């Protein structure tokens, strides 16, 4: 079974790397990741996007699964931002 984790990017983040250098747990489903993001962020209106990463079963390498935006009620997949091109750009593919 695949595992997932998330990077939360904030609108008012001054330091580019501080939001990426946090320890996050791994989850079995994307729904579990979304629940964790909603529980751990007090002000979801301050969240710019959530990048969900998939951890490969055999290799243990991470790949970007998708970018999710806060639409006021839930995290919704941003279909305008293709994960595969970012995986190539960041050499994750």
The count of structural domains within the chain is 1
Nearest CA to 44 among 35, 54, 53?
Answer: 35
Rounded distance between C-alpha atoms, residue 88 and residue 18, angstroms = 23
> What is the pTM for the complete model shown?
0.81
Range of the domain at 45: 3-89
Whether the Cβ atoms of residue 52 and residue 30 lie closer than 8 Å to each other: yes
Q: Enter the tokens of residue 68.
A: 């999710």
Which residues are within 8 A (CB) of 65 and not within 5 positions of it... i.e. 6 or more apart? Answer: 4, 30, 52, 53, 54, 83
pLDDT tens digit at each of 93 positions of the chain: 679 998 888 887 665 655 555 678 899 998 998 899 889 888 888 888 899 999 988 888 889 999 999 888 888 999 998 888 887 877 776
């Amino acid at each position: 079974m695949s595992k997932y984790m998330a990077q939360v990017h904030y609108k008012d983040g001054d330091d580019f790397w501080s939001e990426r250098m946090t320890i996050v747990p791994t989850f079995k489903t994307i729904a579990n990741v979304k629940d964790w993001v909603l529980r751990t962020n007090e002000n979801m209106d301050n969240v710019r996007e959530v990048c969900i990463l998939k951890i490969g079963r055999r290799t243990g390498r991470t790949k970007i699964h998708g970018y999710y935006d806060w639409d006021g009620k839930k995290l919704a997949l941003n279909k305008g931002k293709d994960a595969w091109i970012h995986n190539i750009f960041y050499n994750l593919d």
